[in-house]
Amino acid sequence: MSAFLVALSAVALAEMGDRTQFLALVLAARYRKPWPIIAGIVVATLFNHLLAGAAGIWLASVLTERLLAAIVAVGLIAMAGWTLVPDEAVEGIKVSDRGAFLATLMLFFLAEIGDKTQIATATLAAAYKDLIAVVAGSTLGMLVADVPVVFLGDAFAARLPMKTIRLAAAALFAFIGILFAVKAIMG
């Protein structure tokens, strides 16, 4: 249960103000069909995070516990720093005329490659060695952050205290990273 809750909260906070949240807003404005957009987000995120989580678990299987804990600690503390830097809006996003679901599926999958939430998913899967709980949590965290944007658009996004949200996400990543650093040091 802790893997699920940590993944959910970490990804939900990290996603606030992220480029994929902006992408959800662009797609909602373009298509005005929330349910196909949400379905595209779910499928793209599940696939992307399953791949990331599987890679994290594979790494966990080839590394010693101590080395893995050290790598997870460094990764999470780096994520804390990265979270403090706001994403720049992605300009010139071209949306497909293939329909809301396919456009969302393709664009979200591509936007998530190398994104904070994908790296967090891989790191948490390596740390907890629970692919299903981490991917379920990270996917739900993505939805917690993006679904309101799809339904409420600009009016909602403009009112969020982004600096406070980034600080909370960074603090969460740093705290978990410190816990893993202690685990690596203590053996």
pLDDT digits (tens, 9 = 90+) for 30-47: 788 899 999 999 999 999
pLDDT of residue 164: 76
130 backbone dihedrals φ, ψ, rounded to 5°: -135, 85
- The better pLDDT of the pair 140, 91 is held by 140
Q: Which residue has the tokens 């906070």?
A: 13
Measured distance CA(33)–CA(21) in Å, rounded: 16
Domain that residue 10 falls in = 2-186
- In the three-class reduction of DSSP (H, G, I as helix; E, B as strand; rest coil), residue 38 is classed as helix
Least-confidence region, from 49-58, 109-118, 135-144, 155-164 = 155-164
Q: Which residue has the tokens 């591509």?
A: 110
Tens-digit pLDDT profile for residues 96-110: 556 889 989 988 888
Number of independent structural domains in the chain: 1
Question: pTM for the full model?
Answer: 0.74
Measured distance CA(127)–CA(121) in Å, rounded: 10
Instruction: Kindly report the average pLDDT of the chain as a whole number.
Output: 83
pLDDT of residue 91: 46
